[in-house]
């Protein structure tokens, strides 16, 4: 058996999984005939300068700190299974997730919060998709803030239940829904929450579920 055999035989797995995993960028891929491509180019050339600025603003990727420490992973079905008490757990519980990934230092003691790296939730909740990274060890929030390089319009800072939350949005591709990126810090833990939904109010709903627990 070779890696090519695995790559080849993956072709015929259950079709529903293939369709479910279809990248959203696929819907934005373009297949044009040469004639159409050149025709479009000629027709649009005078608009390029204006559009270029607009597209740059709209599609510049969010720049975020990307430090995901591997460590050892423990899969949990309930936050009560966390090896030690964690004060901010109520925020995560507010999401009502059914599975969690808990990462801690390789060879470290999972009952000692000093060895904790992160807690992750990634699942469909309500009418959308949530990816939440909780970074332990009192990281500097400034390192994690979203930086939309060419525009400040796409980011905003709101105070929700006394917590300052930075919110940004980004579209992976032209026809895809928006990902909302939010960053906030509470009790020494940085929360990197991302939501995907057709409903623009979904991010507020998720933030309310989490931060509403503080009251």
Partner 1 sequence: MDDRDIIKLYLARDEEAIAETQRKYGRYCHYVALRITGSEQDAEELVNDACLRAWNTIPPHDPESLKAYVGMLTRRLAVNRLEENTAAKRSGHAAAPLEELSECLPDNAEGNLPESVALRDSLDRFVKALSRRDRRVFLQRYWYACPVAEVAADCGMTVSHVTVVLLRLRKKLKAHLEKEGFSP
Contact residues toward partner 1 (CB under 8 A) are 1-27, 29-31, 61, 64, 66-68, 70, 73, 99, 120, 122-124, 129, 131, 133, 172, 179, 194-196
Q: Which of residues 128 and 161 has its CB atom nearest to partner 1 in the complex? A: 128
Q: Are strands 62-63 and 72-76 parallel, antiparallel or unpaired?
A: unpaired
The residue among 6 and 49 lying less far from partner 1, judged by its C-beta, is 6
Measured from the CB of residue 120, what is the shortest distance to partner 1 in angstroms?
A: 8
CA dist 160 and 107 (Å) reads 38
Helices (H), the chain: 3-9, 15-20, 34-44, 48-59, 89-93, 141-144, 202-211
Q: Rounded to the nearest 10 degrees, how much is the dihedral formed by the CA atoms of 11, 15, 16, 18?
A: 30
CB of 163 to partner 1, least distance (A): 21
Least distance in angstroms from the C-beta of 85 to partner 1: 25
Strands 155-160 and 163-170, by their bridges, are antiparallel
Please, which residue, 28 or 159, has the CB nearer to partner 1?
28
The whole-angstrom separation of Cα 46 and Cα 50 is 8
Whole-number Cα distances in Å, 57 to 66, 153, 174:
22, 9, 13
Report the residue number, 129 or 166, with the smaller CB distance to partner 1. Answer: 129
The least distance separating partner 1 from the CB of residue 173, rounded to whole angstroms, comes to 8
Q: How far is the CB of 162 from partner 1 (least distance, A)?
A: 26
Nearer to partner 1, 66 or 198 (CB): 66
Cβ-based burial of 171 (10 A; exposed 0-12, middle 13-18, buried ≥19): middle
């Amino acid at each position: 058996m070779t890696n090519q055999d695995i790559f080849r035989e993956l072709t015929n797995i259950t079709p529903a999984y293939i369709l479910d995993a279809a990248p959203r960028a696929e819907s934005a891929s373009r297949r044009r005939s040469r004639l159409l491509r050149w025709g479009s180019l000629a027709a649009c050339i005078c608009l390029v300068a204006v559009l270029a600025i607009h597209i740059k603003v709209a599609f510049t990727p969010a720049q975020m700190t990307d430090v995901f420490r591997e460590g050892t992973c423990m899969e949990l079905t309930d936050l009560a299974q966390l090896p030690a008490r964690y004060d901010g757990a109520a925020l995560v519980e507010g999401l009502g997730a059914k599975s969690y990934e808990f990462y801690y230092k390789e060879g470290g003691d999972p009952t000692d919060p000093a060895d904790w790296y992160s807690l992750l939730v990634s699942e469909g909740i309500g009418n959308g998709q949530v990816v939440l990274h909780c970074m332990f060890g009192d990281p500097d929030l400034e390192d994690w803030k979203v930086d939309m390089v060419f525009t400040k319009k796409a980011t905003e800072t709101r105070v929700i239940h006394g917590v300052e939350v930075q919110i940004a949005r980004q579209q992976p591709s032209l026809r895809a829904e928006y990902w909302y990126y939010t960053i906030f810090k509470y009790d020494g833990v940085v929360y990197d929450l991302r939501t995907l939904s057709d409903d623009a109010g979904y991010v507020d709903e998720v933030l309310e579920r989490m931060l509403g627990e503080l009251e």
